[in-house]
Structure 1
C-alpha cells in the first residue's frame, strides 16, 4: 500500500506542475528580421500578451507593424520587413542623359516607396513616364533619346515670321521671315531645323539714311529730316564765292548717301570748316580761311574721336574731318528682355566707348540660344548687339 501511494503522489505532482510551466512560456522568442532588430520588449521567456517592437537599420524602410504581440503561442501580426533603399549616382544619371527635376546631381539614397521625377538634359526627350518609384532597393530609369525636333524659331529684330508658329518643328522644317518696311533681309530669308538646332538666322538691315552730312564750303538746302527713306534725295549748294564740283543732288541708297559734291574756294581759300555730328570746333568758325590754315575738333565725354583731330585748308578744300563715335549703353531693361546679365560687372547700367567689348552671361534658369549673337559684344558706333538666352531645363548646382 505504501508503494502505491508514492506512485500516485508523483503522478499527481506531474499533472499539476506541467501546465503551470507551459503557461509561463506562452511564445517562443520573436523571429529575427533581416536588416533590423528588436528595439524594445526583448527578454528571456514570453507570456501571453507580451509585446515587442522592431526597428530597421538606418536607410531601410519598415514595412508592416512595428509591434507584434504574443497570442496563443503565436506572434501576431507577423514580423515586419525592412526594405532596402535605392542608390542613385551622378554617373547613372549622366549615362542615361537624365537629371532630377529638382536639380540634385550628387549621389544619395531614396527610401523604398519614394517617387522621383526625372527630366532629360538639353537636346534629349523622354520616351516613357518621367516618374519612377523605389521598390526594395530597385528603381527603373526612364529612357531619353536625342530630340531632333526644334523649338520656337529665333526672334529677329525688325522681322516677323511669315507663317504660323508652332511649339515644335520636325527636322527639315523651314521658317521664313519678313522684314519691316524700309528694312532689307540680309542673307537667306529662312532658318532650317537640323538635329534639333536652327540654322543661322538672317538679319534685317535698315535701308533708311541719316541726315546728309555737312560739306566744307557748302550746306544742304532746306531743313534736314531725322531719317530719309530709300531713294529719297537731298540737294547741296555752295557758299558765295565757292564753286561746286560733282552732282549737287545726292540719293539715299542701301542706307548710305551717294557721292557728295565738293565746294572749292577761289584763290585756294577755304570756307567754314565742315560740322561733324556729336562734335565741335575748338575755335569760332570764320567765313574764309587762307591756304594752310588748320582747325581742331573735339568730341564730348565717352565719345571716341576717330581720325585726326586737325584738318587743313589745301587747294580750296579742307582735309577729311574726324568722326565722333557715339557711346553704347548696356541697360538693365535691354538685358532683361534678352534674359542676360553682365558677366564681370555688378552695376545695372554700363557705358561703353565705341570699340570697347563687354561680356554677358545667361540669367539663372536660362541657357544660351544657339542662334544668339556672341556673348562677347563690341560697341560699334553707338550700337551694341545683345546676345539672347532662352528658358532652360537643365538646372545648375547653385539652383
Structure 2
C-alpha cells in the first residue's frame, strides 16, 4: 500500500484513496530452522505475500509465529524451537503500589495472568513466553501526541487528508512519474511530528553505453542484435541492456547492465575460451575418428 491506510468523509467527499502497487521482488530459499522443519512448501520463486509454516521436533516447543512470510523480498523472522525442559519461567514483578498482588509470583511458559493497576478498573492480560511477559507488565501510562495530517512532498503523488495519525503509525510515499524516492519509503509519526521525510528526485537518463572488446549490445526487448548507431542517445532510468560475445568468447560476468540515475552498472567482459579446453576437445575428436 502506498499513501494513506485511512480515509475520511469531509463535506460529502472522501479524502484521497491509497494505491496498491505490485511488489516485484521475490525471496530467496526458505531459511533453515534449527530443531524444526517445514510443514509444507511450494516451489520457488517465492513472491510477496507467500507464507511457509514450520513445526518443531518432538520434545521441542515453538517460540514465536509458526509461519514466515515473504515481504518485499525478505522473509519475516523465524520462530525458535526450544527444548521443552529448558523453557524459562516468568516472575511477577509488579509491586503492591503498582497493581494488585497475585496468589503466586512465578509462572510457567504459556501461563496467562490478569492484573489490575492501582487507580484503574480495566484489567490487563499477559502471557509468559519463555521467561518474558507478552505484553510486558506495565502500570505506567504513557501519553503520546498525535501527528497532524502528513505533509505534501514535492513531486510526490497527491496526499490530501485531514486525518490525524497516532504515534508509531506510518504512511508510504509514492513519487510522480519520472521521479524516484530517495531515502526512506515511509514517513513515521513520532512524538507529534513526522520523521524520515524522503525526497522525490528526477530520474536521470543514461548515455549510450560503452563498447566492450569482442562484444556487442543485444536488445533486451526484442532479443536481437542491433547496430549501436540505431540506438537512442539516452536511455531512461531503469533501462536494461544485454551484451553478447563474438564466437570463441564468453561473458565473464552477468551479461545485463542497468541504468541507475544516469549511470550504467558495471560492464561485463568477453574473455577467450580456455585454449587447453580446446586442445582436449580436438584430441578427443581425433581419437574418435
TM-score (norm 2): 0.29
Q: Which has the higher contact order (CA 8 A, sep 6+)?
A: 2
TM-score (norm 1): 0.23
Q: Flag the structure with larger Rg.
A: 1
Indicate the structure with greater strand content. Answer: 1
